[in-house]
Structure 1
């Protein structure tokens, strides 16, 4: 736990709204918000609770005074409730209060290897959560609702473009599906984000600038249907893999709507071979008010449409030296917490430590003040 308070003045970076095809427009988001880094808290790697190891925390949410964090353990998919105690000076403590295992419709535990939990949100007494599935093994991704006991309630129907496919040029990439979800600002539905482009839409990001458009879809809560889809353009990979490694990626890892058609989007680039973890993480302020609905477009390649606009709000490189061992870990979840005493909102992000399967990683929580 570190007690740090520092205001970061982030350069405003405006992105051009590009329409594929012949149409090009420029639309700027006016600067209005900034994030002030307050503190970091690392939950020990050996933390256990009710015969489970606390780790793999891929999503976090706060509602009605309670905190929830989903674990991406495919052998025992579950979520924890927790207490995060903090103020404008920093964290005081983080404690786990309960664990809930996800179950099928008859209350049985989900078989091992059938899900890859990624994101969770509390909604009206239950939980909406996502799984990336296992595309290479034909296990489909999903967006489901569970009750407060983790029991299956409902699953939303997916278009074929989101399902495993034998066509090498169609469908989702492995580990590139439903990584993020947020309640819509009007509470009428959910926005769910892909991590990577669909194969028919564009290529996975590389070190060079690529056309890598990611779909973000709106799910109507009343009808249960996927409806409007908008497009977010990914950055290129931040740095080359090092020390003989070759693996690199960049994608959306979480989404949070804070006003109608306004989002905070976490974008994470990862490159193997770095002692600092290899992660380059950014938070973008995103405006979708003029974005085209592309739900009827089967392939974005060559299509004419308007993407969301994105403005760099925070780059975690700016605080790397203030974090444990200079590590920006595998940050994958974000949520607003309770307001501070000055009326400003708090924002918390959490890192998935992968249960330290690939070397030591951190159950890392980082907290900000949202300043207007």
Structure 2
């Protein structure tokens, strides 16, 4: 989630629909070992645009404001899609939506919302607004449907308040029933927790979550580098963010450093907002437990958004679960190949894309990928559904 944006951030793509072949990109890592990002195999992913659909701004649905859609996943038990809003109970109680998406080889034909329910705390009450300052609010960002029992697992970033601000809210991965009732919580690694001088930065905690290995592995990613892992990306350097594989019970199976790119343009010096970049979503490949699609989202004042999709793997990367700080450490990061730069796809606009999930298999044998953008409830942004075909 990017907060406080109220200016038009969109840049129109002028290229026609394009087949984008995966290419090797350099690491944005801190002192990676030579050859850390060498080509993995001939399995290059290709992507092309199927179509897009925009939902009306601040659409009213069952007394709620549709917007802030930061996570999407398909519910195999119903055939519908589940969408998580990152409204922190400012407009209405923190909630999710269900929807029917008409997507095929011809594009995105319709998005029809079917229900909405609030996320509930263990005591059955909805989550309060952060304005109460009681440290019990949440910042929901990602949602996945359990492939085993169709419960909803969702990640929230918590909050690292300013000095003398409200209490710290720890990030977490919660598990809810399809009606929003709280069921359980996944135990997170110790280095995901917020302390005075360590852990995730504000608004850069757990924003990416996926199931892999037939539902036996839960993988999450921190959106930006931990405080102890070094500075955020700038115009000359990228950064490393942590990706963690866990069992369903919370046991850490491995933790790896994913290299995010450097900032792509200089920021408008008149803007009060600095660049923002990170990993808002990742998605496991169904047939390879160590392979993921990773979404990188960057916003720069005056230049707008750059959205890039990468094919990545933990295979061969250093397990850093016992590495206290990645700053200056010669670790081997995850390898990555560029699948698509959204400005090359022929979209009507490139906005704040934050969620993605697998869609139906197409008659061509390609697998569809469905993505959604978070409009931040801003009139200058859009809620955009995009469908890609991946070969």
TM-score normalised to the size of structure 1?
0.90
Change (3 A) 1:47 1:255: same
Match of 2:141 among 100, 118, 128: 118
Residue number in structure 2 paired with 1:369:
389
Alignment partner, residue 206 of structure 2: 178
Q: Is structure 2 residue 38 aligned with structure 1 residue 9?
A: no
Residue 189, structure 1, aligned to residue 217, structure 2: yes
Deviation string, structure 1 residues 215-253 (Cα, Å, up to 9, x no partner): 0111211x3233411110110011122261151021111
C-alpha spacing 1:109/1:260, structure 2 compared with 1 (3 Å)? same
Question: Partners in 1 of 2:178 and 2:116 — Cα distance?
Answer: 11
Report the equivalent of 1:316.
342
Structure 1 residue 70 and structure 2 residue 84: aligned? yes
The 5 A counterparts of 1:56-95 are: 56-64=68-76, 65-75=79-89, 76-95=93-112
Contact 1:244/1:273, CA 8 A, preserved across alignment: no
Aligned pair 1:36/2:56, yes or no? no
Report deviation, 1:127.
0.6
SS in 1 for 2:351: coil
Partners of 1:106 and 1:151 within 8 A in 2? no
Report the CA distance between 1:19 and its aligned residue.
7.9
After superposition, what is the alpha-carbon deviation per residue over 1:315-334, rounded to whole angstroms, capped at 9, x for unaligned?
Answer: 01113xx433xx21100000
**Is 1:50 aligned to 2:72, yes or no?**
no
Alignment match, 2:331: 305
Cα distance, 1:20 vs structure 2 = 4.1
Residues 70 and 119, structure 1, Cα contact 8 Å, conserved in 2: yes
Equivalent residue pairs, number: 354
Query: Does residue 164 of structure 1 match 2:194?
Result: yes
Match of 2:261 among 231, 235, 239: 235
Q: Which of 236, 245, 253 in structure 2 is aligned with 1:208?
A: 236
Higher mean C-alpha displacement, 224-233 vs 247-256: 224-233
Cα distance in 2 for partners of 1:201, 1:243 equals 27
Secondary structure of the structure 2 residue equivalent to 1:305? coil
Residue 13 (structure 1) shift? 2.6
Whether 1:24 and 2:34 are equivalent positions in the alignment is yes
Asked if the contact 1:72–1:117 (Cα under 8 Å) also holds between the matched residues in 2, the reply is: yes
Instruction: Name the Cα RMSD after superposition.
Output: 2.0
- The question of whether the paired residues in 1 share the 8 Å contact of 2:29 and 2:260 is answered with no
Partner of 2:118: 101
1:133-184 Cα offsets, whole Å, 9 max, x none, are 11124111111111111111111223442222222xx221001100110001
Distance 2:268 2:328 in 1: 34
1:116 shift after superposition = 0.5
Gaps of 5+ in 2: 1-14, 131-136
Structure 1 residue 264 corresponds to structure 2 residue 306? no
Q: Is the 8 A contact 1:335 1:349 kept in 2?
A: yes
Measured against aligned partners, the alpha-carbon deviations of 1:182-218 in whole angstroms (never above 9, x if no partner) come to 00133212100111000111211111224x1100111
Q: Is the 8 A contact 1:156 1:225 kept in 2?
A: no
Asked whether the 8 Å contact 1:19–1:306 carries over to 2, the reply is no
SS in 1 for 2:191: helix
Contact 1:183–1:190 under 8 Å retained in 2? yes
CA change 1:140–1:9 in 2 (3 A) is: closer
Tell me how far apart the structure 2 counterparts of residues 149 and 9 of structure 1 sit (CA, whole Å).
Answer: 40
TM-score of the superposed pair, with normalisation by structure 2: 0.86
Task: Assess if the C-alpha contact under 8 Å between 1:5 and 1:89 holds in 2.
Answer: no
Q: Matched residues in 1 for 2:185 and 2:338: separation?
A: 34
Gaps of 5+ in 1: none
Structure with the bigger RCO (C-alpha within 8 Å, sep 6+) is 2
Find the residue that maps to 2:317 and give its secondary structure: coil
